[in-house]
Amino acid sequence: MSVLLDSARTQLLVVDVQERLLPAMAQGEDILAGCLRLVQAAAILDVPVSVSEQYPKGIGPSVAALRERLPESARSFEKLSFSCMGDPAIAERARALADDGRDQLLICGIEAHVCVLQTAIEAHEAGLPVYVAADAVGSRAPQSRELALARMARAGVEIVTAEMAIFEWQRVAGAGHFKALMALVK
């Protein structure tokens, strides 16, 4: 079985890109840009999107730029567990989508060394092919992000970039939604 992402098999999970958390991230604007590229590409290609918010009463909701670009079909979840897979509603959504053929889980968001890492490893251990978009995840300290990416890779998680994911979803130049997708990566 191919390890390339397939838009017909993928579900996108955006982890905790929230108002009071994003400004504390190293290269926060770059992280947000990567997440937005993926969300917009997912909307174009009908890839299901789930969004988690860690304790939004304290950390705030997802940032406005993200909320404004989410497709209508996106589902948002409040959580307290660091791992999205530790939240019954999010885990059930991921499993239900996988049972419907959306078994590839692409993750972006923050923080790479806490919620993203725990989610990715637990989803991988649950049998899902897991991908993390390296340019769309971050932490307060760059070292934490780098160590998290290395640890996830050692655990069997595929490390990609947003652009890699978008081109793998598209597969063919000049066909389908190519022009709309190209506008996202330029």
pLDDT tens column, 81-107: 999 999 999 999 999 999 999 999 999
- At residue 124, the pLDDT reads 98
Burial degree of 72 (CB within 10 A; 0-12, 13-18, 19+): exposed
Mean of all residue pLDDT scores within the chain:
95
What is the value of pTM for the model shown?
0.96
- Catalytic one among 16, 87, 103, 135? 16
Active-site hit among 35, 79, 84, 103: 79
56-60, 87-91, 179-183: least confident range: 179-183
The answer to whether 79 is a known catalytic residue is yes
Distance between CA atoms of residues 37 and 102, nearest Å: 20
CA 125 vs. chain centroid, Å, equals: 17
Catalytic residue (choose from 35, 84, 108, 115): 115
46 assigned to active site: no
Is 16 an annotated catalytic residue? yes
Could you give phi then psi for residue 6, rounded to 5 degrees? -125, 125
How long, in residues, is the chain? 186
- Check pLDDT > 80 for residue 179: no
The class (CATH top level) of 10-185 is alpha beta
Report pLDDT for 77: 98
The residue extents of the domains of the chain are: 10-185
Asked if pLDDT for residue 71 goes beyond 80, the answer is yes
pLDDT score, position 1: 62
Give yes or no for residue 20 having a pLDDT over 80: yes
